[in-house]
């Protein structure tokens, strides 16, 4: 979970107003619902049926004939928004079928924040933490099963290859849960500035799920998350070693949120390093 003591305040994106987001989606979708946001990928706004309702999401894959490994993207606590569409398009352009979900579909349609969201504002922050609280662990696990089933039902998904899952901020813990919920599908997990929620003293701590998974891991921690809990990286490494999993756990020279454009602490050099390591993880394990 994101913590107001470590998360930056303002998150800015002129595309984030609901009107602009809707116009952008409509302009890209046209009459068929297919968005050509880049010349080499196709993005489609979709609804994924889950046990608890219908999740609004975007499905993205390379243009042309073919099938590609599946990847699920869990956004950060500010949810599905244009910057995560951009990230999904970039990943898809590399040869993947990508689903970027609105994790808060039980509470609101995306986008759930406006163009100048201030995480330091208690009222605005409480809105998001309320959305997060509506996501019980068993519901998250059911969602993960539904999202992978949706991906596997697409004609552009290569179901003969393992799938990947990546998450940012709270999405790091959700990615661990996904790997445990569908262990026979997930071959690689990426967590970026996952915060202190990856290791807790509770029986539902994400790190306790590692032994139930069949994935390789890339865990990229923020330097201020590490400063607040320097023991966590060692606990993670010990858990991976005990479970016999291949994993890289590293503290990056960026603060919580450094991977996501629009954040006050976006660090392009470290974000690109994390992206390079993620694509290497997928190339090696999604086969």
Please state the domain extents for the chain: 10-285
**Residue 258 phi, psi dihedral angles, 5° rounding:** -65, -20
The pLDDT value given to residue 28: 46
Q: Please state which of the ranges 7-16, 27-36, 176-185 shows the lowest mean pLDDT.
A: 27-36
pLDDT band at 2, cuts 50/70/90? low
pTM score, two decimals?
Answer: 0.91
Q: Please report, rounded to a whole number, the percentage of residues in the chain having pLDDT higher than 90.
A: 78
**DSSP SS3 for 116:** strand
User: Poorest-confidence range of 2-16, 48-62, 146-160?
Assistant: 2-16
Q: What is the pLDDT of residues 154-205, one digit of tens each?
A: 999 999 999 999 999 999 999 999 999 999 999 999 999 999 899 999 999 9
211-251 tens-digit pLDDT: 999 999 999 999 999 999 999 999 999 999 999 999 999 99
Average predicted confidence (pLDDT) for the chain: 90
Q: Which residue has the tokens 């509770």?
A: 202
29 pLDDT higher than 90: no
Structure tokens at 151: 């991906």
Residue 11: predicted pLDDT: 66
CATH number at 10-285? 3.40.50.1820
What radius of gyration, in Å, describes the C-alpha atoms of the chain?
17
Of 10-14, 236-240, 250-254, least confident by mean pLDDT is 10-14
Among the ranges given (4-18, 54-68, 197-211, 215-229), the one the predictor scored with the smallest mean pLDDT: 4-18
CA proximity to 220, closest of 200, 241, 248: 248
Q: Are 5 and 228 in contact (CB under 8 A)?
A: yes
What is the band of 9 on the pLDDT scale with cuts at 50, 70, 90? Answer: low
Q: What is the pLDDT of residue 10?
A: 62
Please tell me which of 11-15, 36-40, 115-119 the model is most confident about, judged by mean pLDDT: 115-119
List, in sequence order, every residue forming a beta bridge with 250; answer none if it has no partner: 220
- Quick one: pLDDT at residue 3? 46
Go through 247-274 and write b for each residue having 16 or more CB atoms within 10 A of its CB, e for each that does not. Answer: bebebbebbbbbbbebbebbbeebbebb
Considering only CA atoms, which of 2, 59, 94 is closest in space to residue 278?
94
Residue 1 confidence class, pLDDT cut points 50, 70, 90: very low
User: Confidence class of residue 72 from pLDDT cuts 50, 70 and 90?
Assistant: very high
């Amino acid at each position: 979970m994101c913590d107001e003591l470590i998360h930056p305040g303002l998150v800015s994106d002129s595309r984030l107003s609901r009107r602009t987001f809707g116009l952008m989606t409509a302009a890209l979708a046209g009459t068929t619902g297919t968005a050509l946001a880049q010349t080499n990928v196709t993005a489609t706004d979709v609804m994924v049926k889950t046990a608890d309702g219908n999740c609004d999401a975007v499905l993205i894959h390379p243009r042309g004939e073919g099938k590609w490994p599946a990847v699920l993207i869990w956004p950060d606590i500010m949810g599905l928004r244009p910057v995560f569409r951009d990230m999904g398009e970039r990943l898809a352009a590399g040869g993947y079928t990508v689903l970027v979900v609105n994790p808060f579909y039980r509470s609101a349609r995306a986008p759930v924040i406006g163009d100048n969201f201030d995480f330091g504002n208690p009222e605005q922050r409480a809105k998001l933490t309320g959305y997060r609280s509506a996501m019980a662990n068993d519901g998250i696990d059911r969602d993960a099963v539904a999202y992978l089933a949706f991906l596997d039902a697409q004609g552009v998904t290569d179901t003969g290859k393992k799938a990947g899952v990546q998450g940012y901020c709270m999405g790091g813990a959700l990615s661990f849960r996904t790997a445990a919920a569908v262990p026979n599908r997930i071959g690689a997990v990426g967590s970026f500035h996952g915060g202190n929620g990856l290791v807790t003293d509770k029986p539902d701590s994400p790190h306790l799920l590692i032994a139930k998974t069949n994935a390789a891991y890339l865990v990229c921690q923020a330097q201020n998350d590490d400063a607040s809990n320097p023991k966590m990286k060692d606990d993670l490494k010990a858990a991976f070693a005990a479970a016999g999993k291949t994993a890289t756990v590293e503290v990056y020279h960026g603060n919580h949120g450094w991977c996501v454009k629009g954040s006050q602490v976006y660090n392009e050099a470290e974000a690109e390093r994390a992206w390079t390591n993620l694509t290497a993880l997928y190339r090696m394990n999604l086969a």
